[in-house]
Structure formats: C-alpha cells, structure tokens
Amino acid sequence: MSNATLVSTTVNGDPVQYACPSDESLMTALRNRVGLTGVKEGCGTGDCGACSITLDGQLVCSCLVLAVEAEGREVTTVEGLSTDGELHTLQQKFIDHAALQCGICTPGFLVAAKALLDRNPNPDETEIRYALAGNLCRCTGYDKIVHAVQAAAKDMRKQKRR
C-alpha cells in the first residue's frame, strides 16, 4: 500500500485504528480493514444506500466518504444497533413483518430508519417513505418495510414513555 494514512476513529463505540490509502472509501475500510461486512456495497456511487452508516449521528453513504475523513469521529454501522445481546426494536420488527427477502439492503434500511426515528419518533407514512427513498430494495416493493418501521416507531414511543 503506497501513501497509507493511519486513521483513529470510533466505530460502534469502540476505538479503532486502520491504515488506508488516501483514496479509499470509508465503506471499503469498514468492510475490509475493520471487518464490518454488514456495510454492503450495492453501487459505490451513493445511489443505493446499502452502505448507509451514521457519522457523528448524520446518515451518510459510506461509499461517498473517504476513509481518512473518519479521523476523530464516531461511526455507527448496523453492527452497532443491537446492544446487550438484544435486537433493536427496528431489527425485531423487520423480522416480524417479513420486511426483508434477500436482505442485502436491510442493514442500510435499518441504519436509515434509526436515523429517521432518532429525529422524528412519530413519522407518518409519507415521511417514512421519503426518509427511506435513498435506500433501494429490489425484492419487497417497500410495503412490509414501511409497515415494520411504523410498528417499530410505535413500540419505541411506548418504551420511551415507560
């Protein structure tokens, strides 16, 4: 590897270091250097959302971010959604509502849906559809995905009230 840069970052709460070429995408670094293959590559051009992560809480396509840009920042991937051995409500609802068929787009949808519910705990159908419009799914027609997000939002609001 020529001209490698050493990057120190935080991934799913843990300190992580990797060395990467300056033109490598964060998606590639997360997949190949950090071992988080839940970050999926569908296009590499920011059109499909399969590589969605949050960077300091902001939803981004990790294929459009350079790996070196993660320096000093907080990265969350689908692997960071479930905690203490329990599935996140969104994850459980995706399974319960059969919101995945092949599942390749699922990590990106979950990250995007969580980003939506973090800023808007009670989105209507249209808001959900527009918030997820950057994530392509070819199997489901989105029907069961939207239902799953609606159900998760409802449960998460209940959990908060408790």
Partner 1 sequence: MGHDQKYVDKEYKVVGTRFNRPDGVEKVTGKARYGADASAPGQLVGRILRSPHPHAQIVKINTKKAEKLPGVKSIVTCDDMPDLTGGDQGLADILENCMARGRALYDGHAVAAVAAVDEQTAAKALKLIEVKYKKLPHVTDVDEAMSESAPVIHDRVFTRGVEPAPTKPSNVAARTQMGHGDVDAGFAEADIIIEKSYKTEQTHQGYIEPHACLASVNPDGSADLWVTTQGHFVFRNVCASLLGLDIAKLKVTSSEIGGGFGGKTHVWIEPVALALSRKANRPVKMVMARDEVFRATGPTSSTSIDIKMGAKKDGTITAAVADMRYQGGAFPGNWAMLACMTAFACYDIKNNKAIGWDVIVNRPKVAAYRAPSAPMAAFAVESTIDELAKMVGVSAIDMRLKNVAREGTPAPYGPTYGPIGIEHTLQAVKDHPHMRAKLKKNQGRGVACGFWFNIGGQTCTDLNISVDGTVNLTLGTVDVGGSRSSMAMIAAEELGISYDQVRANIADSSSLGHNDMTEGSRGTFSSGMATIYAAREAIGVLKERAAKMWGVPVDDVIWENGQAIATGEGHGNLPPLSLKEIAAKSGRTGGPIAGHNEVTADGAGMGFASHICDVEVDPETGRSTIVRYTVVQDAGKAINPDYVEGQFQGGATQGIGWALNEEYIYGTDGRLQNPGFLDYRIPVCSDLPFIDTQILEVPNPLHPYGVRGVGETSIVPPLAAVGNAIANATGVRMTHAPMSPPRVLAAIDAQENAG
Which residue among 9, 54, 76, 135 contacts partner 1 (CB under 8 A)? Answer: 135
HSE, side-chain direction, 13 A CA sphere, residue 123: 24
146 binds partner 1 (CB under 8 A): yes
HSE, side-chain direction, 13 A CA sphere, residue 57: 3
- Closer residue to partner 1, CB minimum distance, 26 or 161: 26
In contact, 148 and 99? CB cutoff 8 Å? yes
Q: Which stretch binds partner 1 (CB under 8 A): 37-45, 64-72, 114-122, 152-160?
A: 37-45
- Closer residue to partner 1, CB minimum distance, 6 or 98: 98
Identify residues 63-92 at the interface with partner 1 (CB under 8 A).
Answer: 77-79, 81-82, 87, 91-92
- 134 burial (CB, 10 Å; 0-12 / 13-18 / 19+) is middle
- Closer residue to partner 1, CB minimum distance, 10 or 139: 139
Q: How far is the CB of 148 from partner 1 (least distance, A)?
A: 10
Joined together, the tokens standing for residue 23 give 């033109």
Phi and psi dihedrals of 139, rounded to 5? -95, -40
Which residue among 29, 66, 110, 151 contacts partner 1 (CB under 8 A)? Answer: 110
Which residue among 126, 159, 160, 161 contacts partner 1 (CB under 8 A)? Answer: 126
- Closer residue to partner 1, CB minimum distance, 85 or 162: 85
130 binds partner 1 (CB under 8 A): yes
Cβ neighbours of residue 10 closer than 8 Å, sequence gap 6 or more: 16, 73, 74, 75
106 binds partner 1 (CB under 8 A): yes
Strand partners, 21: 4
Joined together, the tokens standing for residue 60 give 């981004």
- Closer residue to partner 1, CB minimum distance, 56 or 127: 127
